[in-house]
Structure 1
Amino acid sequence: MSFKAISLFPCHPATTRGEATKLSSSKDRIVWTNGRTVIIRDLKNPSQVIANSGHVQAATVARVSPTGYYCASADAAGTVRIWDLVGEDNVLKAEYKVLSGRINDLEWDGDSKRIIAVGDGRDKFGHAFMMDTGSSTGEVIGHSKVINAVAIRHQRPFRAATAGDDTTIVFHQGVPFKYDKTIKTHTKFVQDVRYAPSGDHFASVGSDAKVFVYDGKTGDTLGEFNDNPHTGSIYASSWSPDSKSLATSSADCTVKLWDIETKKAVTTWKVGSGVNHQQVGNTWTAGDDIVSLSMSGDLNIFDKRSGERPARILQGPTKSITSAIPTPGSDTFIAGTAEGRILSFSGTEYSLIEGQGHSSLVSGLGLASSGDVYSTGYDDTLKEIDLKGSSFSQASTATASQPKSLAIGSDNTVFVAEIKGVEVIVSNQKVHELQTKYTPSSVAAAGKIVAVGGEDHKIRLHEWDGKTLKEVALLEGNKGPVGAIAFSPDGALLAAGDSSGKIILFDVEKRASITSRWSFHSGRIHSLAWTADGKHCASASLDTHVYIWSVAKPMKNIAIKNAAPNGVNAVFWLGDTKLASAGADGCVRTWDIKFHV
């Protein structure tokens, strides 16, 4: 048995209220960070995605070198990693600890040889160094507070501009980089500074909602863009490939396009209203796409020639995917996240399930034979989702205690395992509640049999007669709290995974263990999924690995090591040989599995 990686569906950028999120681009590729992961996605070819999770701490910014051969990424601990983009392995070229605190931004020079990284530190707020040796290439000084952004002129003579929380911009001569002068145009935090591709100008934006443009060689202030200005903090700016226009993204939920020569706003795009539509980052691709980031994580793509709204909106998870299941159709699935959002996936893109959703972590998803999806969340609710309408229905049921898992019977009966017991819900009405002396942690259903895994390391089998749950058997053998259980499609077998990483396979009719050899995981089992023929079972674990087990040959397995950084939370089949895994990094990966006879 063997496997091959097929595709990766990436998470979207992580955002923080009141802070800018750094986006960058290289040709038609957008670059962003989320957690420890750096994502590089091709807008023209969505299947071309790179995810690199080499950072130990949360990554904060990443930029591709002008040559396109390397990517430099930085994290919250002050480390810069430079890695290869040629080939699939993304080989690490160098790693440097350049600041003692968080790095907010970095920039390459025009030769792809030097890098300036800026942010927060005890002894300094910025560092200039050679990408191949790490040796210093000058000083980044002049600021008294955290530096938020840096820009380097790509033409000789090199120049650099840094912007900080001390409301100033510092202009540097180079190379080696050295202090030239301090520019005091803004009255509040300066959020971003960017050089035009031509090198003739650079622009700055800040929390004072102002935009200024400067001479690229001398640093002299050329003027302010005060025609139809923004009304909120401006978090990001980016230049057009021809250096004639500037795009700015603001907390007033708008993106503006400015003409450099006239210093006037040519176009204003209103994205929406409310906190989720605040614009906190942007980039302008070489293919002439303006991409602006909403606080919600949506990537809004604008056409500079037309429209009052985004031409396209890319949606995706911004937090860990906590639950995921396949849905009817080819390569379609639905995923719930740690922030309570639920998204459906079809083709190459996600779409958000609209309506009154969950306000916190989605703990379970289940597909009924009717085609409707049910979800539970840590907001103590059970909700119904209309997949055809891609929205939550009006139906919502409050649970007695925090739901940990849900299962759906063949007659669309919903069983919810909660901290204090198991509730049975039919047509959004509670029809039965089973109080337990133990704490349930997982539930599965097959026909009239309902299995409940507990924190006491045991599994109880119940019969559902339409009115009550009657306990009929007790299954033992697990070494920790049972976090995931799953019946085979015919209901004859039951797989149970626990917090120690052990999986026990039970014969349901005989109420006996078949094998306890599925024990290669070293962390909590989060999810189990059977193939349609019931011959193999896939498992996802906190140890970052996915295993596919054989019923006929218990010692034979396929090991997909390091399937997702920080753990795999869900695993499900999209076909007879196509497996999908959803990780704590918010990404979904698919794998082609070869079952050799």
Structure 2
Amino acid sequence: MSFTQGKLCPCNPTTERGVSTKLSATGSKLVYTNGSTVVIRDLADPAGNSTYAGHIQPATVARFSPSGYYCASGDVAGNVRVWDTVGADRILKNEVKTGIKINDLEWDGESKRIIAVGDGKSRMGSVFTFDTGNSAGEIMGHSKPINAVSIRHQRPFRAVTASDDAQIAFFEGAPYKYKKSIKTHTRFVQDVRYAPSGDLFASGGSDGKVFLYDGKTGDVIIELKEGAHSATVMACSWSTDSKSLATSSTDGTVKLWDAETHKIINTWTVGTGIHNQQVGNTWVQEDIVSLSLSGDLSVFDRREAEKPRQILYGAQRPITAFTAALSGTMYAGSYDGRVVSFSDNGAESVKGDGPSSQVTALAAVENKVISTSFDDCVREIDLGTGAFTLMSVGTNGQPKDVACDMDGIYVITSRGLECIKEGKVLSKTPVGSTPSSVATSATLIAVGAEDQKVYLFEKGADPKEVGKLESNRGMITALAFSPSGQLLAAGDSTGRIVLYDVENKEVKTSRWTFHTGRISSIAWTQDGKHAASGSLDTNIYIWSVDKPMSNIAIKNAGTRGVSGVAWVSPNIVASAGADGCVRTWEIKFHD
């Protein structure tokens, strides 16, 4: 058996209310951060999506070099990592420790020097050469954290920084030396960007104002007042021809300005709620990409006057539940309660009255998906409409896992097993120990527990216990019946999977022991000959029933752990993890 990596459905950027999120692009590729992961998202060809997982601490910003061959990314611990964007290995070129919490960074026009800015005890910025880390100037002139930096790519080189002290510092270089402070804004300056031509740069701030400046001297040219934003301007970016400026604001709008006439060209209203606050933007070729506080990325065509041409959805927080419907559509529930579907048509956020807190489990059957969450509710997603239905059933305790079939829905809580059908709780059955996982077959319900045992119940209006399986050595964390119901795979907290013969209540094999962390999910192929498992150890294994010692190891399949696996076709397995990404893997069976 062997495998090849398939498509990557990336997570969306991390956002924080009141904080500008920096986006960057080169060609058709958009780059941003989520947790410790850097995501490269190709808007023209999804096959070009990729991630970089070299940071240990949460990454805050990533920017491509002008040459496009490298990417520099910074994190909260002050580390700037420069890595190769060509090839799949993502070779690290250099790592520089700046000693500041990095809020933004920028390359110079020669792809040689980097300015990193943020918040530190003794300084707010650092200038260095990317290959050696040697100093190439000094960032000064601010008394509070710096939010943004931009560099003029033409000689003579210039640089500007924007700070919470309501000032813009202007630098001449290289090496970069402080020249003067620009005091146009009355509140925090959130973003500052040079036009590609170098003739102008623009700034936006918490006072809702946007200014244009001379790129060489830093002199103020004009404030863009006509049709101005009514709230904080969080981001500004220039078109490739330097003729248009896009600004995004917490008033929920994105505005396009003509840099020559200083007039507004268009205004797009994304929404009025808090989640529709716009906190970042960039140009991807001829399109404007603006980021909502919810993490959604709206793609605007400058010729389209009313609405986004496309909205890019994805998980914004770690994925905590995962399943796949018979159609092959994947569903991922995350730590913040959002459920996102992934299909050949792209990703969509499941609409309707969904969970208000962490999604703990998802299970698919026929034309619906069942979800459980920490708000103690069981909900239903209609696959036809792609939205939550009105069905919402409260549970007698916090639900941990769910299984479902045409006979009903089976939920486990800290208090036992609950059977639900047609929106009503039919029975509440105690279990010998605190339950931790559940699975169902045509005739049985299997409940894994913290006492390392699997309890078997016969289906019915009032399930009756009919046996126990006791060969695991850790808390049962994942259960899955084979399609025929003859076999049961039980994964535990030690990383061990025991395969049981259910009818005889015997161990068929205990050799599926290559994981080194808690088993989070197990899924069977339709023919019942193979099973896939995902674990906290970041790996996926494909196991063979006929040849227990034969397996496929997919190493580092999910940064920070794999939280779910599901088969979307006879030879394609999908996985989701704590990095918020969904990946597919094509498996080649040789046995």
Between 337-346 and 250-259, the greater mean CA deviation after superposition:
337-346
Q: Could you say which residue in structure 1 is the equivalent of 2:293?
A: 295
- 1:209 equivalent in alignment to 2:204: no
- 1:396 equivalent in alignment to 2:395: no
Between 534-543 and 549-558, the greater mean CA deviation after superposition:
549-558
Conservation of the 8 A alpha-carbon contact between 1:47 and 1:348: no
Secondary structure of the equivalent of 2:47? Answer: coil
For 1:427 and 1:361, the matched residues in 2 are separated by 24
1:86 offset after TM fit, Å?
A: 1.2
User: 1:442-481 residue pairs with structure 2 within 5 A?
Assistant: 442-465=437-460, 467-481=461-475
Of 293, 303, 306 in structure 2, the residue corresponding to residue 305 of structure 1 is: 303
Q: Could you say which residue in structure 1 is the equivalent of 2:343?
A: 346
Q: Could you say which residue in structure 2 is the equivalent of 1:415?
A: 410
* 1:558 counterpart letter in structure 2: I
Conservation of the 8 A alpha-carbon contact between 1:162 and 1:193: yes
- 1:431 equivalent in alignment to 2:426: yes
- 1:560 equivalent in alignment to 2:554: yes
Conservation of the 8 A alpha-carbon contact between 2:361 and 2:401: yes
Q: Could you say which residue in structure 1 is the equivalent of 2:563?
A: 569
For 2:271 and 2:293, the matched residues in 1 are separated by 11
For 2:471 and 2:431, the matched residues in 1 are separated by 20
For 2:110 and 2:61, the matched residues in 1 are separated by 20
Between 259-268 and 164-173, the greater mean CA deviation after superposition:
259-268
1:265 offset after TM fit, Å?
A: 1.7
Secondary structure of the equivalent of 1:47? Answer: helix
Q: Deviation per CA, 1:430-453: give whole Å up to 9, x if none.
A: 110112352111000001200000
Q: Could you say which residue in structure 1 is the equivalent of 2:145?
A: 146
Percent identity of the aligned residues? 56
Q: Could you say which residue in structure 1 is the equivalent of 2:523?
A: 529
Conservation of the 8 A alpha-carbon contact between 1:36 and 1:53: yes
Of 325, 328, 334 in structure 1, the residue corresponding to residue 326 of structure 2 is: 328
Q: Could you say which residue in structure 1 is the equivalent of 2:4?
A: 4
Aligned residues: 591
1:403 offset after TM fit, Å?
A: 0.5
Question: TM-score of the superposition, structure 1-length normalised?
Answer: 0.98
For 1:596 and 1:309, the matched residues in 2 are separated by 50
Secondary structure of the equivalent of 1:574? Answer: strand
Q: Could you say which residue in structure 2 is the equivalent of 1:585?
A: 579
Q: Deviation per CA, 1:435-474: give whole Å up to 9, x if none.
A: 2352111000001200000011111000012x11100001
Q: Could you say which residue in structure 2 is the equivalent of 1:129?
A: 128
Conservation of the 8 A alpha-carbon contact between 2:82 and 2:92: yes
For 1:306 and 1:498, the matched residues in 2 are separated by 53
1:573 offset after TM fit, Å?
A: 0.7
For 1:395 and 1:408, the matched residues in 2 are separated by 15
Q: Could you say which residue in structure 1 is the equivalent of 2:477?
A: 483
Q: Could you say which residue in structure 2 is the equivalent of 1:384?
A: 380
- 1:364 equivalent in alignment to 2:361: yes
1:46 offset after TM fit, Å?
A: 1.8
For 1:367 and 1:590, the matched residues in 2 are separated by 18
Q: Deviation per CA, 1:82-141: give whole Å up to 9, x if none.
A: 11111111111111111x231000000000011000001111110010011100001011
For 2:565 and 2:431, the matched residues in 1 are separated by 29
Unmatched segments (≥5 aa) in structure 1: none
* 1:130 counterpart letter in structure 2: T
Q: Deviation per CA, 1:8-62: give whole Å up to 9, x if none.
A: 1100111111111111111111111101111111111122112101101011100
For 2:52 and 2:144, the matched residues in 1 are separated by 31
1:261 offset after TM fit, Å?
A: 2.2
For 1:359 and 1:412, the matched residues in 2 are separated by 27
Secondary structure of the equivalent of 1:235? Answer: strand
Of 308, 314, 329 in structure 1, the residue corresponding to residue 312 of structure 2 is: 314
- 1:259 equivalent in alignment to 2:258: yes
For 2:505 and 2:34, the matched residues in 1 are separated by 45
Q: Could you say which residue in structure 2 is the equivalent of 1:542?
A: 536
* 2:128 counterpart letter in structure 1: F
Question: TM-score of the superposition, structure 2-length normalised?
Answer: 0.99
For 1:307 and 1:219, the matched residues in 2 are separated by 33
For 2:473 and 2:123, the matched residues in 1 are separated by 51
Secondary structure of the equivalent of 2:569? Answer: coil
Q: Deviation per CA, 1:158-187: give whole Å up to 9, x if none.
A: 000000111110000000000000011111
1:348 offset after TM fit, Å?
A: 4.6
For 2:43 and 2:556, the matched residues in 1 are separated by 27
Q: Could you say which residue in structure 2 is the equivalent of 1:510?
A: 504
1:264 offset after TM fit, Å?
A: 2.3
* 1:69 counterpart letter in structure 2: Y
For 1:156 and 1:586, the matched residues in 2 are separated by 41
- 1:23 equivalent in alignment to 2:19: no
* 2:354 counterpart letter in structure 1: G
Between 258-267 and 129-138, the greater mean CA deviation after superposition:
258-267
* 1:471 counterpart letter in structure 2: E
* 1:376 counterpart letter in structure 2: T
Q: Could you say which residue in structure 1 is the equivalent of 2:115?
A: 116
* 1:552 counterpart letter in structure 2: D
- 1:178 equivalent in alignment to 2:203: no
* 2:444 counterpart letter in structure 1: I
For 1:487 and 1:146, the matched residues in 2 are separated by 55
Instruction: Name the Cα RMSD after superposition.
Output: 1.0
Secondary structure of the equivalent of 1:276? Answer: helix
1:488 offset after TM fit, Å?
A: 0.4
Conservation of the 8 A alpha-carbon contact between 2:7 and 2:46: no
1:262 offset after TM fit, Å?
A: 2.5
Conservation of the 8 A alpha-carbon contact between 1:253 and 1:271: yes
